[in-house]
């Protein structure tokens, strides 16, 4: 948040109509409530679910919800700060709130990128993916790395955030490195750190998600050609094939290796015990749900977060004048837009995934 405006510039800003302001506060309250309840249900489901349902993507979705839950808890502080233009919450929370929100955002984007990469690995190279470490162990390693890397990137803000006395009795919460003053804010070092985080948080994430999507698209098309040959030579479909009909072609490798393995592997698979087959089918069903709603997760994230980040860069680099009449109200509504993904993602889980639909149904109907 840029709080370096003078009193003169404030008087030049466009004043938000009272009705629009009330409606905006209503939306903030609605989004906060939906995010808190929705993500809490997802996290609770992660804790109480049966062990056999906890596949790799299950842990990543739970991690995404934890990050968005943390982000939601910081929103009231940021809204009050933005509305009043002064920091009322003390030195300690100045060190915690904004850096924690940035950390949660880093974890969110990194987790989405991890889901995209795993989806690519799972669909494009399924036989190799099966040889990876156990889902729980691999998930914990990935999640630990994501949180550790995110905290390291934000650590300077945790350390150097401080309260600064501004004009007209205002108190600002700013990141001032050793030797920095309010007159030199934002310093060159802080700008470099901010742009580094933005590059990692958004540019790298987009590259990974796009590359993963293109690889999967290529592999699915290649497997599609092979599937037509297989269907021509096949005398009939097995029950397992009928159970997964309509699912993404790459997942067929887990329940029908004829798509990606030779005849020896096919015979070996057919001799697998029925209990193991059912476990694979259950895992594949959950993976299918997450894969199918993955595009919605990414689209909501891009529409919600990217406009504010672009505006932040333009304002931070001086491309948008501090005296621009619509600066403040534009920032407020883009900030409001950035709150929506945390509320919409759980709604996607509940409406597009059978697994989470059951969890939300139990919560709404108060069933055990």
Residue 63's pLDDT is 93
CA distance 239 to 357: 25
**Diameter of the chain measured on Cα atoms:** 82
Q: Provide, rounded to the nearest whole percent, the portion of the chain with pLDDT above 90.
A: 28
Question: Residues near 158 by Cβ (< 8 Å), separated by ≥ 6?
Answer: 95, 96, 99, 151
CB 132 within 8 A of CB 140: no
Residue 82 to residues 28, 126, 137, 237: CA-CA distances in angstroms? Answer: 13, 48, 42, 61
* Reported confidence tier of residue 205, pLDDT bands at 50, 70, 90: confident
Classify 171 as helix, strand or coil. Answer: strand
**pLDDT digit string (tens) for 337-355?**
999 999 999 988 888 777 7
Lowest mean pLDDT among 46-55, 106-115, 271-280, 314-323: 271-280
**CA torsion angle 141 303 87 93 (round to 10):** -10
Residue 350's pLDDT is 82
b/e map 196-231, b = 16+ CB within 10 Å? ebbebbbeebeebbeebbebbeebeeebeeebeeee
CB 99 within 8 A of CB 157: yes
Q: Is the pTM of this model over 0.85?
A: no
CA distance 225 to 311: 45
Fold held by 18-365 = Rhopdopsin 7-helix transmembrane proteins (1.20.1070)
**pLDDT digit string (tens) for 38-63?**
999 888 887 776 654 556 777 888 89
Residue with tokens 């599937």: 227
What average pLDDT does this structure show over 83-106?
92
Residue 216's pLDDT is 75
CA distance 332 to 216: 38
CB 340 within 8 A of CB 68: no
Q: Where are the domains of the chain?
A: 18-365
For residue 41, the tally of other CB atoms under 10 A from its CB is 20
């Amino acid at each position: 948040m840029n709080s370096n405006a003078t009193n003169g510039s404030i008087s030049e800003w466009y004043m938000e109509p009272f009705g629009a302001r009330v409606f905006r506060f209503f939306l903030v309250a609605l989004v906060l409530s939906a995010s808190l309840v929705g993500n809490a249900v997802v996290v609770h489901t992660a804790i109480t679910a049966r062990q056999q349902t906890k596949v790799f993507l299950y842990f990543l979705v739970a991690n995404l919800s934890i990050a968005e839950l943390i982000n939601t808890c910081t929103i009231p502080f940021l809204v009050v700060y933005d509305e009043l233009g002064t920091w009322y919450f003390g030195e300690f929370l100045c060190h915690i709130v904004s850096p924690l929100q940035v950390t949660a955002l880093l974890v969110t984007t990194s987790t989405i990128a991890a889901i995209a990469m795993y989806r690519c690995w799972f669909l494009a190279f399924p036989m190799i993916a099966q040889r990876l470490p156990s889902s729980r162990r691999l998930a914990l390693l990935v999640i630990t790395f994501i949180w550790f890397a995110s905290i390291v990137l934000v650590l300077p803000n945790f350390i150097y955030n401080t309260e600064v006395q501004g004009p007209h009795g205002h108190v600002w919460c700013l990141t001032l490195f050793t030797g920095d003053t309010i007159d030199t804010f934002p310093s060159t070092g802080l700008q470099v750190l901010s742009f580094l985080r933005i590059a990692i948080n958004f540019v790298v994430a987009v590259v990974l998600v796009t590359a993963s999507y293109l690889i999967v698209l290529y592999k699915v098309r290649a497997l599609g050609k092979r599937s037509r040959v297989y269907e021509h030579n096949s005398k009939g479909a097995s029950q397992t094939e009928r159970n997964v009909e309509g699912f993404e072609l790459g997942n067929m490798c887990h329940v029908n290796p004829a798509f990606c393995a030779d005849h020896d592997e096919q015979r070996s698979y057919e001799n697998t015990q029925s209990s193991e087959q059912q476990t694979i089918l259950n895992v594949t069903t959950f993976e299918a749900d997450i894969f199918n709603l993955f595009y919605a997760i990414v689209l909501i994230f891009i529409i919600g977060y990217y406009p504010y980040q672009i505006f932040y860069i333009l304002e931070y680099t001086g491309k948008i004048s501090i005296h621009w009449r619509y600066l403040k109200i534009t920032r407020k509504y883009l900030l409001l837009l950035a709150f929506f993904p945390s509320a919409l993602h759980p709604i996607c889980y509940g409406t597009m995934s059978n697994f989470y639909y059951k969890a939300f149904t139990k919560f709404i109907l108060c069933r055990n």
